A = this chain, B = another copy of it.
Amino acid sequence: MMLNVVSFEEAMKITEEKFSLSEQSTERLSITECIGRITAEDIAAGESIPPFDRSTVDGYALRASDTFGAGESIPAMLDIKGEILMGEQASQPVSAGECVKISTGGMLPEGADSVVMVEHTEQTPDGICLAFRAVSPFQNVTRKGDDVKKGQTVIKKGTPLSSRHIGILCALGITEVLCTKKIRVGIISSGDEIVPVEECVPLGKIRDINSHFLSALMSEKGCETTEYGIVRDDFDSLYATLQKAADECDVVLISGGSSAGSKDMTATVIQKNGEVFFHGIAVKPGKPTISGRVGKAAVFGLPGHPAAAYLIALTVVLRLIRKLTGEDITPFTLTAELTKSISSNHGREELVPVILKSGKAEPLFFKSGLVSLLCAADGYIIIPRNKEGLFEGEKVSVHPF
């Protein structure tokens, strides 16, 4: 089969355009189980926060106009009509010349528009409050809706929910959220030379790194993963396993067997079962990446080299996962100066892991077999395909892991 090579950017776009979020793929989750999930609708406030005007101090709720002109030597005098504690409904209205004792967080009674702090008052034995300071309307008051107005969208569709969102949901009494379902990712390792990690490895063979490695990455990114184990370099075995995985999952990752060499079979199996969109990306590492479809499932053939498979999963595959979950955020990047020049004369994009140290990015030089490298790195940079390299001191965008 001819290699149909696309650019890194095209690779992401092509796959993204071929698949979309189905309408059945949402579910209502309680707020105790929605962390890490993506909202499937805008969430609007059903009420205002605070739901009433609220005192921010201990003091007396009153009409500001009653205090105008008051000072140390000429206090305003007000009848104390009662007391409102935090958590109580304010049932006693306040008229001109009246006030009500109020605690921090207390509900402002009808008729009152401000609170004079207790430190600026004196209470006489016969129930009169002397206010030695003037207050302006709404002074020492948080107004109804100051935090959130009824009807306002508080969380947008496509937001990945974190603990920070739980506060506002609780404040509004929202106990369930419509989220997209977890994307089911199936993982297949292929190759006669591969041995399960749990087994003793004969000299010459290599351990199956990619099954657990890719599964860990996809779980970390919020997917539900299934490992389909190691499949021998045998057309029928790979065909059958791929068919099963494609039936059960939204996305299937096959690692190994994606070079153009003699053992290559992944592309042929995908083609026979479905359709191949491209075979090969002009990116280093990750060239022998395949994208296609079997049934409703997106299928990727990933490089056998673990670090290359990981980086392509983190970029190309994750871009599709984001599309499928409806996640609507710009991935976070940060700017740093390179500590060393890097040459890159490949006519293809290059992904380079970097260590971040006091605002600078130190590139880690990459042989795609090196699995220890990713442990040390804090993120990666992308060298554009039309650049022959990057200079020491040049500003780069780092994608943190």
Contacts and interface: CB of A to CB of B under 8 A. Distances in A.
Contacts of A207: 170-171, 173
A128 interface: no
Highest count of chain B CB atoms <10 Å: which of A175, A371, A373: A371
A35 B220 contact: yes
Nearest to A335: B359
B213 A163 contact: yes
Contacts of A211: 170
Interface string A360-372: 0000000101111
Interface string A47-70: 001111010101000000000000
B307 A370 contact: no
A266 interface: no
Contacts of A240: none
Copy number in the complex reads: 2
A85 B173 CA distance: 64
A215 B32 CA distance: 9
Contacts of A371: 49, 147, 167-168, 171
A367 B209 contact: no
Nearest to A205: B87
Interface string A216-237: 1101100000000000000000
Interface size class of A (residues with CB under 8 A): 35 or more
Interface stretch (A73-81, A191-199, A274-282): A191-199
Contacts of A146: 367, 370
Contacts of A219: 35, 163
Given A162-B401, A334-B334, A375-B154, A369 B52 contact: no
Contact of A372 (B104, B154, B208, B215): B154
A54 B204 CA distance: 9
Nearest to A307: B167
A372 B216 contact: no
Contact of A193 (B32, B87, B304): B87
A103 interface: yes
A175 B198 contact: yes
B204 A170 contact: no
Given A105-B193, A216-B163, A335-B359, A87 B206 contact: yes
Contacts of A168: 371-372, 374-375
B310 A164 contact: yes
A306 B146 CA distance: 15
Contact of A203 (B51, B332, B377): B51
Given A107-B204, A191-B87, A203-B52, A367 B142 contact: yes
A60 B173 CA distance: 71
13 contacts: A31-B197, A87-B194, A87-B204, A107-B204, A146-B367, A162-B220, A165-B375, A166-B212, A167-B374, A168-B371, A170-B211, A171-B207, A175-B198
Interface of A: 31-32, 35, 49-52, 54, 56, 58, 85-90, 103-105, 107, 142, 146-148, 154-155, 162-168, 170-171, 173, 175, 191-194, 197-198, 201-209, 211-213, 215-217, 219-220, 259, 261, 304, 306-307, 310, 332, 334-335, 356, 359, 367, 369-375, 377, 400-401
Given A49-B372, A164-B375, A170-B211, 18 more contacts: A31-B197, A32-B215, A52-B204, A56-B369, A87-B204, A89-B204, A105-B193, A147-B370, A148-B372, A154-B375, A163-B310, A166-B212, A167-B209, A167-B371, A170-B208, A171-B209, A171-B306, A335-B359
